[in-house]
């Protein structure tokens, strides 16, 4: 039975072909009342069916699924591979840079995810364009994590977040709000807006691993922002952060370094 046939049969379940006898006054009145209820509820039924259809993930040919998250009508796609996650294996959330999007970002991670058996999730962030959109991304990111917790299998003791370029804003100002969810953070030439904005709170990260990477030929702005972030971590007496300057590298992602670091953290002894 098609969707329309199914909907029509539900809407017309109380219908009848012939008019009841006049002597059956009570029955006829009841049927008229039911008919009015059906008339009112039928559009609601269609709306519910369409909403359920919209909630179904879009499955790509490469096995990636794309789901729409939260209440905003655009910039709401989150890409996931594999569809149901991998039990007892790490989870990595990757934040794209300016001009990117979750479905585009995940393409650069697929081979690594398959080779190293981890779940990769790529939301779509407004803040990748400008840090002023961090407050807009906050409820969306909260909904992303809620969806992940309810729908994916993964090792909950090994969840990580990384961000490249403008994706650094999402890591610094959204990822840090959930030290209970993430074991570590990796910044790839990530942008940083200082500690006076967007309620940055690193109190839960004093002993958690944070790794900052940038290129020796990177953007002067990115280099300055990363040095500012390092100064902040040092001033707060953080004990488990590290930095790496890639000789000759420009403003570019380093997916392979992220995965190598993530695997090192899986076997590392927790810092006290």
| DSSP calls for 142-177 | HHHHHHHHHH-B--TT-EEEEEETTHHHHHHHTGGG
d(CA 110, CA 155): 19
Q: What is the mean pLDDT of residues 203-222?
A: 96
Q: Would the pLDDT of 49 be above 80?
A: no
Q: Which residue has the higher pLDDT, 70 or 254?
A: 254
pLDDT at position 29: 61
pLDDT at position 46: 37
d(CA 85, CA 100): 23
pLDDT at position 195: 87
């Amino acid at each position: 039975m098609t969707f329309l046939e199914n909907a029509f049969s539900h809407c017309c379940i109380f219908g009848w072909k012939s008019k009841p006898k006049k002597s059956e006054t009570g029955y006829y009145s009841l049927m008229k009342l039911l008919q009015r209820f059906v008339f009112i509820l039928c559009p609601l039924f269609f709306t519910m069916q369409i909403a359920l259809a919209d909630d179904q993930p879009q499955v790509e040919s490469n096995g990636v699924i794309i789901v729409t998250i939260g209440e905003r009508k655009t910039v709401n796609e989150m890409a996931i591979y594999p569809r149901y996650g991998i039990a007892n294996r790490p989870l990595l959330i990757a934040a794209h840079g300016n001009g990117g999007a979750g479905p585009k970002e995940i393409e650069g991670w697929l081979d690594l995810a398959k080779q190293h058996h981890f779940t990769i999730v790529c939301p779509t962030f407004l803040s990748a364009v400008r840090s002023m959109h961090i407050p807009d991304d906050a409820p969306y990111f909260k909904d992303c994590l809620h969806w992940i917790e309810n729908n994916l299998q993964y090792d909950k003791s090994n969840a990580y977040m990384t961000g490249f370029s403008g994706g650094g804003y999402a890591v610094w100002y959204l990822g840090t709000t959930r030290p209970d969810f993430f074991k570590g953070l990796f910044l790839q030439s990530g942008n940083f807006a200082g500690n006076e904005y967007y309620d940055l709170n690193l109190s839960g990260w004093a002993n958690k691993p944070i790794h900052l990477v940038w290129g020796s030929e990177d953007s002067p702005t990115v280099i300055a922002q990363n040095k500012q972030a390092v100064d902040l971590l040092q001033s707060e007496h953080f004990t488990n952060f590290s930095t790496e300057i890639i000789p000759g590298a420009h403003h570019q992602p380093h997916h392979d370094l992220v995965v190598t670091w993530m695997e090192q953290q899986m076997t590392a002894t927790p810092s006290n």
